[in-house]
Amino acid sequence: MSSPVEQITVVSSDGDEFKMTVAAAMQSEQLKQMLTDDSISIVKVPVENISTEILVKVIEYCQKHADHEAATKANGGGASDSEAEELNKWDAEFMKVDVEDKLFHILMAANYLEIKGLFDLACQTVADLIKGKTPKQIRKIFNLKNDFTPEEQERLSRQHNCSFD
């Protein structure tokens, strides 16, 4: 049995290597599986579809949440309201990313690595971007094409009682 691992190395699709503490890595179900499986001795974990830029963000999230969990445990279990709120604020700031570049990449990275908190956060961020916007605005933000025929538009517009714009 090897000595306890304290850090693991993850390798981005660009070939860059990053160290992660075990606590941070455990935020990812995928990495957690690997870490807890004794038959695997981990040296470097390649994460093929995640670029360096995104991986850096993901690691940042994992580390922050791992630290928060450790602090909570040290305080005897319950996170105080203010601490929870502070974490929420941090999360909100963290997700202020460029939609085109990063948001979807982070969402998919979180999905791939099975980081529930980050995944929910990213999904909610996208959902919040959609809420309150007109269809036209939604299309603009996400570069979507309006692929309805004019007749369909007419019919749907009446059905859903909203304009296409």
Partner 1 sequence: MASFRPDLTSRIYPEPDVADVDLFDRLPDSLLLLVFNKIGDVKALGRCCVVSRRFHSLVPQVENVVVRVDCVISDDDSSSSAASSDKSRGPFSNLFRLVFGGIVKPLQALGQFLGPKRTSLSSGPSSSSTTLAVGSEEDGEGDQGGVTHHSPTQVLKNFNEIRFLRIELPSGELGIDDGVLLKWRADFGSTLDNCVILGASSVVYPGPTKSLCPQEGGSDAGCANNGGDDNGSIPDSFYTNGGLKLRVVWTISSLIAASARHYLLQPIISEHKTLDNLVLTDADGQGVLSMNRDQLEELRVKPLSASSASKRTLVPALNMRLWYAPQLELPDGVVLKGATLVAIRPSELSSTAKKEVSDVSWVSTAFGEPYGAAARMLVKRRTYCLEMNSF
Query: Which residues, 130 to 149, sit near partner 1 by CB under 8 A?
Result: 130-135, 138-139, 142-148
Q: Does 79 bind partner 1 (CB under 8 A)?
A: no
d(CA 13, CA 26): 21
**Residue 1, Cβ density class (10 Å: 0-12 exposed, 13-18 middle, ≥19 buried):** exposed
Nearer to partner 1, 42 or 156 (CB): 156
Query: Are residues 90 and 64 in contact, defined by beta-carbon separation less than 8 angstroms?
Result: yes
* The two structure tokens encoding residue 41: 């001795």
Nearer to partner 1, 69 or 138 (CB): 138
Q: Which of 1, 6, 17, 79 binds partner 1 (CB under 8 A)?
A: 17
Q: Does 52 bind partner 1 (CB under 8 A)?
A: yes
Q: Does 7 bind partner 1 (CB under 8 A)?
A: no
Query: Which residues, 53 to 72, sit near partner 1 by CB under 8 A?
Result: 53
Least distance CB 163 / partner 1 (angstroms): 5
d(CA 71, CA 77): 9
Q: Which element (helix H / strand E) includes 87?
A: helix 81-94
- CA count, 13 A, side-chain hemisphere, 78: 3
- Which residues of the shown chain bind partner 1 in the complex (CB under 8 A)? 14-18, 51-53, 99-101, 103-104, 107-108, 111, 120, 123-124, 126-127, 130-135, 138-139, 142-148, 153, 156-157, 159-165
